[in-house]
């Protein structure tokens, strides 16, 4: 299960991480977010070099605004404190894995 984080943890868990971090910006009411969740959980098991985290935009509106998350689901990959890749909307496992591989 992908761990849920909050804004106050973001800097330590994401921006200061030594390895790549995939953050799923989502909302509980979002249908495509619910569809993407099991895909990301499956990929979490296959990508040991990544940390997978999720952040609820309704509970962390400032973080969503700071990272320009205006549509969800929005998956952002961070490396060394920088957002290096972004994926919007639901994508099946193969496309999400390609997104991770190309980030």
> Which residues carry out catalysis?
30, 33
CB 62 within 8 A of CB 20: no
State the DSSP H helix or E strand holding residue 12, giving kind and residue range, or none if neither: none
Report the alpha-carbon distance of residue 65 to residue 95 in Å, rounded. 26
């Amino acid at each position: 299960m992908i761990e849920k984080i909050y804004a106050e943890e973001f800097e330590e868990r994401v921006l200061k991480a030594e390895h790549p971090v995939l953050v799923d910006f989502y909302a509980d009411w979002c249908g495509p977010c619910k569809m993407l969740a099991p895909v990301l959980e499956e990929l979490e098991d296959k990508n040991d070099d990544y940390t997978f985290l999720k952040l609820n935009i309704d509970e962390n509106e400032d973080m969503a605004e700071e990272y320009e998350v205006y549509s969800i689901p929005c998956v952002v990959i961070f490396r060394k404190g920088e957002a290096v890749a972004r994926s919007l909307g639901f994508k099946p496992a193969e496309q999400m894995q390609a997104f991770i591989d190309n980030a």
